[in-house]
């Protein structure tokens, strides 16, 4: 099995070229929170966060994604939910500053708030990962455009009602791409994410994964984040700390479907899964 050829170009992130289609890139998740759904949050320990980032780099991650607000449902998990921009800044900026001094791979800021994105970029972040695709805080688009940093545009919605799931996800992402370009963000600085688990049921997530190749019509690199998510728990009837094999299956399937970036918690294992999957999907030789 080999991916059909395409030209999504090259995106420079933090001075590093990401040559889309050449291989799958791995984004490692660092949650600077006490309430991460995945159970791997480092709390507010700057040293622990930097150690984790350095481990990710050593294990082969291409980028680290630092976030200071849990996105797990507040209605289900006590203590989860939105935090103020000032609180989020107090969590992420010290970590980004410290990590940027140590890392050679780029840092992404996981936020939908313009104020947080602006300060995070000043602190050393080189990418914005917005779970609301520039729609929750419209000023974030101007921040990314002015800094000329790439953005991840993730499909999201408040409910889980769809008439035509994949078509609506693609339509939402196309609208987000148009919004980004109108705001002055260069097209080559855009990445799309179907938003697994965000406004979607487990059945929706599995269908999107099966049909991921359809997102290639958008002409932009695709990021997928299924790592440790509840869909895996539902299918395998396993708690979050036992979902590494399920995550590995979704990473392999994402790559077979055309993913360019996989966003994961278990970096060491998933880098290996990505390399093996790439060997099958994209081709490999001893030389």
Percent of the chain with pLDDT over 70: 91
Element (H, E) at 19: strand 16-19
Mean predicted lDDT score pLDDT of the chain: 92
Residue range 42-49: mean pLDDT, rounded: 85
Assign a CATH topology to domain 22-281.
Answer: TIM Barrel (3.20.20)
pLDDT-based confidence at 81, cuts 50/70/90? Answer: low
DSSP string, 115-136: HHHHHHHHHT--EEEETTTT-S
The per-residue pLDDT for 40 is: 58
| pLDDT tens profile 198-210 | 999 999 999 999 9
> What are the angstrom distances between the C-alpha of 90 and each of 35, 66, 95, 134?
16, 13, 9, 22
With a cut of 90, say whether residue 13 has pLDDT above it: yes
Residue range 27-47: mean pLDDT, rounded: 76
Query: What residue segments make up the domains of the chain, in order of their start?
Result: 22-281
> What are the angstrom distances between the C-alpha of 51 and each of 47, 54, 72, 101?
6, 5, 24, 12
| pLDDT tens profile 48-73 | 999 999 999 999 999 999 999 987 54
pLDDT-based confidence at 102, cuts 50/70/90? Answer: very high
Residue range 29-41: mean pLDDT, rounded: 69
Residue range 148-170: mean pLDDT, rounded: 97
Q: Decide: 25 and 260 in contact? Cβ < 8 Å.
A: yes
The per-residue pLDDT for 266 is: 98
pLDDT-based confidence at 38, cuts 50/70/90? Answer: very low
Q: Which residues are catalytic?
A: 229, 263
């Amino acid at each position: 099995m080999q991916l059909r050829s395409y030209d999504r170009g090259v995106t420079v992130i933090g001075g590093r070229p990401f040559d889309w289609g050449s291989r799958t890139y791995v984004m490692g998740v660092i949650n600077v929170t006490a309430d991460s759904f995945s159970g791997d949050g480092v709390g507010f320990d700057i040293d622990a966060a930097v150690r984790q980032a350095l481990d990710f780099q050593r294990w082969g991650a291409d980028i680290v994604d630092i976030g200071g607000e849990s996105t797990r449902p507040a209605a289900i998990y006590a203590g989860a939910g939105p935090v103020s921009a000032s609180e989020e800044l107090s969590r992420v900026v010290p970590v980004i500053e410290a990590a940027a001094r140590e890392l050679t791979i780029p840092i992404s800021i996981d936020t939908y708030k313009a104020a947080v994105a602006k300060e995070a970029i000043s602190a050393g972040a080189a990418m914005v990962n917005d779970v609301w695709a520039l729609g929750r805080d419209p000023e974030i688009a101007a921040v990314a455009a002015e800094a000329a940093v790439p953005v991840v545009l993730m499909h999201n919605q408040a409910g889980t009602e769809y008439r035509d799931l994949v078509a609506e996800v693609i339509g939402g992402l196309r609208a987000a791409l148009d919004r980004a370009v109108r705001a002055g963000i260069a097209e080559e600085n855009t990445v799309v994410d179907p938003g697994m688990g965000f406004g979607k049921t487990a059945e929706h997530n599995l269908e999107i994964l099966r049909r991921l190749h359809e997102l290639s019509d958008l002409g932009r690199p695709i990021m997928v984040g299924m790592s440790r998510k509840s869909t895996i728990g539902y299918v395998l009837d396993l708690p979050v700390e036992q979902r590494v094999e399920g995550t590995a299956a979704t990473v392999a399937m994402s790559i077979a479907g055309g993913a360019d970036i996989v966003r994961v918690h278990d970096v060491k294992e998933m880098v290996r899964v990505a390399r093996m999957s790439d060997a099958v999907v994209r081709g490999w030789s001893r030389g």
